[in-house]
Structure 1
Amino acid sequence: MKFRRLLLFVLPLFCLNARAQSDTSHLRVSLLTCSPGVELYSIFGHTALRVTDSVRGIDMVYNYGTFDDRDPNFYAKFTRGIMRYALSNYSYQEFLQEYQAESRGVIEQELQLTGEQKQKMYAALQQNALEENRYYNYYFHTDNCTTRARDVIEQKTGASVVFKNILPEKRPTYRNLIHTYLDKSKQSWSKFGIDLCLGSNFDARVTNDQSMFLPDYLMKALDNATADGHPLVAGTQTVVSAPPVPPAENLVTPMLLFVILFIITTLLSFSNNKWAQRFLNVFDSLFFLCIGVFGLLTVTLWIIRVDTVCRNNFNVLWALPTHFFVAFVVYLKRKWLQQYFRIVFMLTALFTLCWFFIPQQINLAVLPLLSIILVRSYFRGNLPAGNRVTTNIPNNFHNAKAINIEL
């Protein structure tokens, strides 16, 4: 009985020793997960791969998240969703210095792979880093620096990698996932703008594999993954320990600003003072101009982007592109303008009533905007065609009658 117990204790040690002896590559590969930064471009964190060769004295980082913003067509390509990213390799020390300077933490997960699997992965990274291979089309939620790192581990090592489920029973949407980061960093205006531009396709519920487009989710997935039946991660360590930088407080959030505008415009709408009406003429021109510009932007992104994240955007039902043109003549008293604003009132009211049935999560700050549209379109749709003044013909005229003179 004692011999059996001793055998059960010693046998795993022999297996581990045999596995260690089979690794003659002198390679160590690991995944680096960087904490979110303060700027919007870094708010979702970052992922890179590290390869160390103890014999050759190599310690390199392979980073799929580099791009050149000096391209003269950068912003045009960005708008169309044609972002050319590249795989860059440079020293591990340079990588650390960059994130230490930004006060961003770095966590390292060493991968438990055989020597042959590490060599395959290293060879694939070297091949991808060649000038003719290093560039790729970046897509935020389907093909980015994090998914590329995952694919190298899963597809280029030759190991049978299995990712266990890391999502709750009620799977989040893409929008839910990015909201977590935007809310944590108190990026209310960025969240508002992103929600306006992203269509209903971004409200699809993610699969376990799809959730790994975010660095934190890939890190969590590796912790629960297996390679050839054993844990994929051999060990985890915090390389750079940096306390999170408290986000700057936005005193004026979209919700607060739009609620204040709604209260002011509603009160002035019931006033007969000339200065109030003049103010509303200017306000309506600027307000509907801004709404129209956004409507045109929504339609443009829907059409020209090569990906699908801006398509099927239901915000266009209240942010009508036609507002852009009407804004320049909003102060005129024309019957067709009255009809236009009556239609706008009905469309906006219908959109508001169907809020919970729209297959797209609409930002809550849109509600006071809808309220402003309802109030101003109601009053614009019910303005008289012209002011009428009644005067009397002098008594010395025969059959004197009251006549109406159009001003």
Structure 2
Amino acid sequence: MKRMKLLKHWYLPSVLTCVVFLSSAFSLFSQADSCRLRISLLTCSPGQELYSSWGHTAIRVTDSATGTDIVYNYGTFDDSDPLFLFNFTKGLMIYALSSYPFSDFVLEYQSQGRGVIEQKLEMNCSEKQKLYSALQINNLQENRFYNYYFHTDNCTSRARDMIVKNTGDSLKFKPIISTPPPSYRNLIHVYLDNSLQYWNKFGIDILLGANLDKKVSNYDAMFLPDYLMKGFDSSSVNNKPFVSESRTVLPITLPAPEKPIFTPFVLFLTIAIAIAFLSMSKAKWLKTSLFFFDLILFLTLGVLGCLLVILWIIRIDDVCRNNYNLLWALPTHLPIAFFVFSKKDWVRRYFRLVFFLTILLAICWWLIPQQFNAALVPILLLIALRAWVRSKN
């Protein structure tokens, strides 16, 4: 009897202790299991195509419990759409969020020779689950499409906003841009210069207006993948680094770009010098040839001016508005070009006005709130020269 009492006295507390221990262990296991998710930012280096010149961003979600390893990519678009080019011109570019295995993502960028850097983000369990759920909801067919705007709402800014929104107020960014702050144009120029895309840079500087010269804030600069990577790398959450680990997934194997034989500045300067020498000649056949050159020159300028006006009007976004290139690419050149052979007074007065307007534009170059491409210098010289000659004939 005494032995039974002792056994009872010893057995029941022991069982209760085991139950409490197992319950605590299960609770800890469940808590650890709730943190099975790993969230990381993927930053891809620039590619060879113009649209990939600034790199790319995606979000990787790894679930160790289910073996899931998915990449969420906001940069998917369908260029086979028959209306793609028309919508692109209007600024109505439909992009979509897509998801696919991380292994496919790696193979895609490996085939392009582009590098990929992964940053593991320091987020608590609830933030990870909240972000994962938000991405899954956003990836539904009715939610995945959005209107893409290059510098305000793109694949990188979408990833940035999704992560920031689901991280909370504890995420703090440090300054990553210089003082005084650069403009959007300054930032995109760096990539075009590094990849020797001087002609693409020239085209962008002509087609996109003064709104691209707006100064960026620290947060705005993160529309570019490299700047978002820098922003996260220097940020903190609850006084701890937001990026707990960084690694190179893929090295850059893309060959260095080849420098073009003629840059816009060199080509137009060569033409301007050649035309200046030819304009001093008294040979009749040369004067006749220069008449045809003027026809082509002012016709081209007129067509370009009309294009800039059309883009200003029809674009849904504002990147083509307030374009001061219209001060030299006058739409009125289009009809006037066909009168370069005329000796009427009104034609001479028109070209005299063009001459003085071009000279004034050159003098006020630094006062205009839009950064002009350097290749415009020889173009303005060429316009002024031929407008002066036409005003005297």
For normalisation by structure 1, the TM-score amounts to 0.87
Partner of 2:340: 330
Would the aligned equivalents of 1:67 and 1:85 in 2 still touch at CA under 8 Å?
Answer: yes
How big is the shift at 1:244? Answer: 4.5
For residues 169 and 388 of structure 2, the distance between their equivalents in structure 1, rounded to whole angstroms, comes to 65
Question: Does 2:331 match 1:296?
Answer: no
SS of residue paired to 1:164: coil
Question: Does 2:139 match 1:129?
Answer: yes
What amino acid is aligned across from residue 51 of structure 1 in structure 2? Answer: V
Question: Does 2:100 match 1:90?
Answer: yes
For residues 255 and 219 of structure 2, the distance between their equivalents in structure 1, rounded to whole angstroms, comes to 30
Give CA deviations for 1:227-257 in whole Å, capped at 9, x if unaligned: 2332111100000012452112101111111
Partner of 1:256: 266
How big is the shift at 1:21? Answer: 5.6
Partner of 1:365: 375
**Structure 2 stretches of 5 or more lacking a match?**
1-27
Give CA deviations for 1:185-218 in whole Å, capped at 9, x if unaligned: 0101000000011111111111001000000000
Question: Does 2:175 match 1:165?
Answer: yes
What amino acid is aligned across from residue 217 of structure 1 in structure 2? Answer: Y
CA RMSD of aligned residues (A): 1.5
Question: Does 2:192 match 1:192?
Answer: no
Give CA deviations for 1:92-138 in whole Å, capped at 9, x if unaligned: 11100010000000000001111111111000000000000000010
For residues 62 and 308 of structure 2, the distance between their equivalents in structure 1, rounded to whole angstroms, comes to 47
Would the aligned equivalents of 1:22 and 1:114 in 2 still touch at CA under 8 Å?
Answer: no
Partner of 1:107: 117
What amino acid is aligned across from residue 84 of structure 1 in structure 2? Answer: I
Give CA deviations for 1:323-374 in whole Å, capped at 9, x if unaligned: 1111222222222111110110011111011011111111010010000011
How big is the shift at 1:168? Answer: 1.5
What amino acid is aligned across from residue 94 of structure 1 in structure 2? Answer: D
Q: Which residue, out of 258, 272, 276, partners 2:286?
A: 276
For residues 348 and 158 of structure 1, the distance between their equivalents in structure 2, rounded to whole angstroms, comes to 53
Q: Which residue, out of 98, 118, 122, partners 2:128?
A: 118
- Report matched runs for 1:172-191 at 5 Å: 172-191=182-201
What amino acid is aligned across from residue 226 of structure 2 in structure 1? Answer: D
Q: Which residue, out of 225, 235, 247, partners 2:235?
A: 225
Partner of 1:206: 216
What amino acid is aligned across from residue 327 of structure 1 in structure 2? Answer: A
Bigger proportion of residues as helix = 2
Q: Which residue, out of 356, 364, 388, partners 1:378?
A: 388
Runs of 4+ residues over 4 Å off in structure 1: 20-23
Q: Which residue, out of 34, 38, 42, partners 2:48?
A: 38
The more displaced of 146-155 and 301-310 is 301-310
Question: Does 2:316 match 1:310?
Answer: no
Partner of 2:160: 150
For normalisation by structure 2, the TM-score amounts to 0.90
For residues 96 and 142 of structure 1, the distance between their equivalents in structure 2, rounded to whole angstroms, comes to 27
**Structure 1 stretches of 5 or more lacking a match?**
1-17, 384-407
SS of residue paired to 1:223: helix
